[in-house]
Structure 1
Amino acid sequence: MQIVQITQESSRAVADLYAALADHDRLGSVLGVPVKRIQDGKSAPNGIGSVRRIGMGPLAIEETVVGAVVDKSIDYKITRGGWPLKNHHGRLVFKALPGGGSQVHWRIEFTAAVPGAAALVKQLLQLAIGRGLRKLA
């Protein structure tokens, strides 16, 4: 099991930070890769049941939001593509900080079907997500 954990503080209000990371169509500018909502959620476009495609062509993956509490948390999992990753679960937790800022803690757990692949993917995720979250600080 590999675990990626990144915590980033921001001067933005928690509602602004949540909005930037919950909106599938805006997430691409944060992560630096194409991201597009391909299915609306049950009660909100980016809410539970919504699906986003990340990447392009045959390397694209699809992630489905499986839990969301506005301004508090987002849970998602890979539901299509992503080989060699298995057992993938991502969770973002948001909290307000004294003085009006906010913090997000992003945690991803996964295993890989190919030895050594999990450690490489972990490093790539830490770099990409860390860089993206610093943009929102």
Structure 2
Amino acid sequence: MTQQLIQLQHFFALPRERVFAYFVQHDNFGRLWWPAQCRWIKAAPNGDANGVGSVREIRVGLVRFEETTTEITPDSTIEYRVTRGGPFKNHVGRMRFSEVPGGTQLDYDIAFDCRWPLFGNFVSGVMHAAWLRGVNRAVDRLMSGDR
């Protein structure tokens, strides 16, 4: 299998707490990945809809998979793993939020294994393009005060 690593970054001219609070919510996270559809399906064991152990379902056409939140460090880190379905193995996403002069730096890494190298490269390109569209919508929502 071929390991794919997608590294995405974005600067937000907003406080880290506000940016983190936006991205930790499953509904907002799902807006990043159009045309994928994202819906929350299970709360964390402590009842928190967006906490460690919570699950969201992602659908892209006929492909369906579930992502489980595996780590949350408030205002700092969100990590999730694909725990059911999907065409890839060992899929892990990690978002790191850093306070920088004038705002927040988001560094977002997505790693997965793919049996077919060219297909993995294609998916990486599609995800990068979707991120660029989606993160700009997130900026608009955050700047307007939406959560």
**TM-score, length-normalised on structure 2?**
0.83
Of 69, 78, 81 in structure 1, the residue corresponding to residue 82 of structure 2 is 78
Of 20, 23, 26 in structure 1, the residue corresponding to residue 22 of structure 2 is 20
What 5-or-longer segments of structure 1 have no aligned partner? Answer: none
SS in 2 for 1:49: coil
Describe the superposition over 1:73-131 as per-residue Cα deviations: whole angstroms up to 9, x where unpaired: 01111111111x111111000011223x1111000111112342111111111111232
Shift of 1:67: 0.8
Of 38, 41, 62 in structure 2, the residue corresponding to residue 38 of structure 1 is 41
1:87 is aligned to 2:87:
no
Shift of 1:56: 5.6
**Where in structure 1 do 4 or more consecutive aligned residues deviate above 4 Å?**
none
Indicate the residue corresponding to 1:66 in structure 2.
70
Shift of 1:12: 2.0
Of 125, 133, 136 in structure 2, the residue corresponding to residue 134 of structure 1 is 136
Shift of 1:14: 1.1
Q: Whole-Å Cα distance in 2 between the matches of residues 54 and 112 of structure 1? A: 18
Using the aligned pairs only, state the percent identity: 31
SS in 1 for 2:27: helix
SS in 2 for 1:55: strand
Shift of 1:57: 6.7
Q: CA RMSD in A?
A: 1.7
What 5-or-longer segments of structure 2 have no aligned partner? Answer: 140-147
- CA 1:3 to 1:14, structure 2 compared with 1: closer, same or farther past 3 Å? same
Structure 1 window deviating more from structure 2 (86-95 vs 113-122): it is 113-122
- CA 1:57 to 1:136, structure 2 compared with 1: closer, same or farther past 3 Å? closer
Indicate the residue corresponding to 1:107 in structure 2.
109
Determine if contact 2:33/2:127 at 8 Å carries over to the other structure.
no
Q: Whole-Å Cα distance in 1 between the matches of residues 23 and 106 of structure 2? A: 10
- CA 1:4 to 1:27, structure 2 compared with 1: closer, same or farther past 3 Å? same
